[in-house]
Amino acid sequence: MRHVLALAIACIAVFTTGGSSADLGPSTEIVVLLRDRAGRDGDLDPRPLESVELELLETAAGASLVPVRLESNGAQVLVVSGGADGARLRALLGGLRALREVVWADGVVRASQASAPPGGTLDRIILKLEDPASRDGSDAARPMPQETVRELSRVAGVPLFFERPVSGGAYALRLFQKMPDASVTAIARRLADSRSVSYAEPTVRGRFQTLPNDPLYEDQWPLLDGPGAIGAPHAWKRTLGSSDIVVAILDSGIRPEHPDLRGRLLPGYDFVSDARRSNDFDGRDADPADPGDATLSGECAIGAPASVSTWHGTHVAGTVGAATNNRIGVAGVDWKARILPVRVGAKCGIDPIDLVDAIRWAAGAVALGGVIADVGAAPPTPARILNLSMEFPGSCPQSLQDAITDAVAAGALVVVAAGNAGQPAGGFHPANCYGVVAVHANDAMGAHAAYSNYGDVDVSAPGGATSMDIRRGVLSTVVRGRKAPGAPDYGFKEGTSMAAPIVAGVASLVLSVAPGLTPGDLQTLLEATSRPFPVGTGADCADSGLRGCGAGIVDASAAVAAAESVASAN
C-alpha cells in the first residue's frame, strides 16, 4: 500500500502542476536519511548504502540513483541520473518519502545555498562530543565534567564555561565575554576539528517572521476562494478537523485568556532559559503565556531601536485554530485541532538551545534526544505538526538538524517560515534544514510577496501584503498593549510567519481524515495538491528556479479530498 500511495500522489503531482519542468542538467543531487541512521548516535557509525537499500530507493523513486557521498549524520547524498526538477523531482521525492525506511528526503540544494550570519557579537557555543558516555551524561541532565571543560578550553584557546545540557547529547558552553561573530566561528571551528568533538557551532539568535501592523477587523480573505487563497470552506464541507490532532506552536507564547483560544489549548511549556530575557523574570516552567517581548533602545544590541510587543505566538495560534462558529472574532483553518503552546522566544529573539529542546519535547521525541534538562518527560499529547514561524541567518546547524530529524522520526511534520528577507531561502534556517516544509508567502492575487524568501521552498500560502491596504494582511487573534498584555483583540499582520500556520492548519485537516499519513506522506500530498500559480500578476511565481515559490499555493479542499482517497484505499 505504501507504493500505491507513492504512485497515486506522484500522478497527482503531474496533473496539478502542468507537467514536469525542464531538467537542470545531466544530474540532480538529493539527500536521504534512512530510519536506522536516525537518532542521537547516528553520526558515530556512518556507513555506505548496501546494495539492497539502494535497490529499494531506486524502486520507490522510479529513477537510477548513484551514491556520491555520506554526510556526518549518516544521510546519503545521491545523484539522480538524467536530472530532475519541478514536478518530476517532487514526484521522485514523494516516492522516497512514502517508504517506511526513510525519515526524510530532500534536494541537496538546501545546504549549498546557505550564507554566513551577519556581523555581531556572540558568546555561546553548542557542542557534542564523540564519547557516548558524555552524551549519556547530557541526556541525564548532568553537567559536563570540569576536566572536560578545561580540555575543551585548551583546544579552543579561550576560557569556556559549562552552561547547561542540551537535548540530543549536546552541551551549551559560554565564552568569558561576547566576541565578534568571526572570532566565535573560528573558536567553534577549532573545537570541531578536534577528534573528540562531533560538532561545535556558535549560537545565533533568531527572530519571528512577521511584519506587524495596527489591528483592524475585516474579512479573512486567505481562507476564501480568491486566486491567492486556500479555499477552506470547501474543505470544511468534508471535515472540520479532529481534537485527536495536536499542532504545536513554537513561538513567543500565547495569551490564554483570549476568547478565541480558550478551550483549544493544551498545557504547554515555557522553554526560555534566560531569565534576563524572559520578561516573566524566571527560567523554564510550565507557563507558556506571552508576557510581551518589547525592548528598550539598545537593549538587544548597540544602536538597536526600541520595539513594542508583537503578540506573535497568539496571532499564529489563532491562524491555525481560533475557535470557529462561536459568534465572535475570527475563524481558524482547523476548527477542532488542539493547540500545544511552546514558548521559545523572548526579548531579543530566539535562543537556538531553547529551540532544539522545545522541538524534541513538542514532538514527543525525548526518547530519541534524551532527557531535557529542566523539563524531563515529553507532553502527554505530543504534536503531529510543529509550526516554526521564525528565521535565523546561515546554514542549518547540526544541532537543529538533529532535533528536526528526531521530530520527524517521531511522526511530526515540521512546518517552517521561508523567511522575510526577500532573498534565496537557502541562506536561512530552519527553511534550509532537511525534512521541513518551507513555506513561501503570496499575496491575495497569488503573486510573490516582495518580502518573502524564495527559491528552494516547498509550497506557498497567503502571507499578505499590507503596503497598499492593511486589510490585505492576515487577520488573527492578538491582544492590546505595547509592552504588557492588555485586552483581547484582532489584528492584521503580514509575513511568512502568517503563511506557515495556514499550511499547518491545512495539514491538521488532512490528518483528521487520514491520520495514518507519515510526515513524508503529508508533505508530498500538500505539494501534489497545491494549485498552480496564477499568471499576469506582475510578480508571477514559478514552481522552481530563481523565481521558485514552491509546488503551488496550498489548496485545502484538494488536499482533504486527496487524503480521503488515501484513507479509503487503506
Grid cell in block for residue 427: 541562506
Partnered with residue 164 across adjacent β-strands are 172
- Please confirm, yes or no, whether 521 is among the known catalytic residues: no
Going from the C-alpha of 476 to that of each of 487, 489, 505, the distances in angstroms are 14, 9, 13
Strand partners, 179: 122
| 497 catalytic residue (yes or no) | yes
**What is the amino acid identity at position 470?**
I
Distance of alpha carbon 417 from alpha carbon 499, whole angstroms: 7
Catalytic residue among 312, 429, 440, 448: 312
How far is it, in rounded angstroms, from Cα 361 to Cα 565?
Answer: 32
Catalytic option among 43, 85, 139, 251: 251
Strand partners, 121: 180
Distance, in Å, from the CA atom of 559 to the CA atom of 566, rounded to the nearest integer, reads 11
For 153-229, list the strands marked E by DSSP: 160-166, 170-180, 197-202, 207-208, 211-212
Backbone angles phi, psi at 126, to 5 degrees: -105, 135
What are the cell numbers at 553?
A: 499555493
- The answer to whether 488 touches 532, Cβ cutoff 8 Å, is no
- Residue 152, classed as helix, strand or coil, is helix
Residues in Cβ contact with 274 at an 8 Å cutoff, skipping those fewer than 6 apart? 283, 346, 351
167 catalytic? Reply is no
User: Which residues are within 8 A (CB) of 442 and not within 5 positions of it... i.e. 6 or more apart?
Assistant: 228, 448, 449, 452, 460, 461, 462, 463, 499, 533, 541, 549, 553
Q: Cα(44)–Cα(41) distance, rounded to whole angstroms?
A: 6
- Which one of the listed residues 497, 508, 544, 557 is annotated catalytic? 497
Parallel, antiparallel or unpaired: strands 385-388 and 413-417: parallel
Amino acid (1-letter code) at residue 10: A
468 Cβ neighbours under 8 A, 6+ residues apart: none
Q: Residue type at 524?
A: T
Residues belonging to the active site: 251, 312, 497
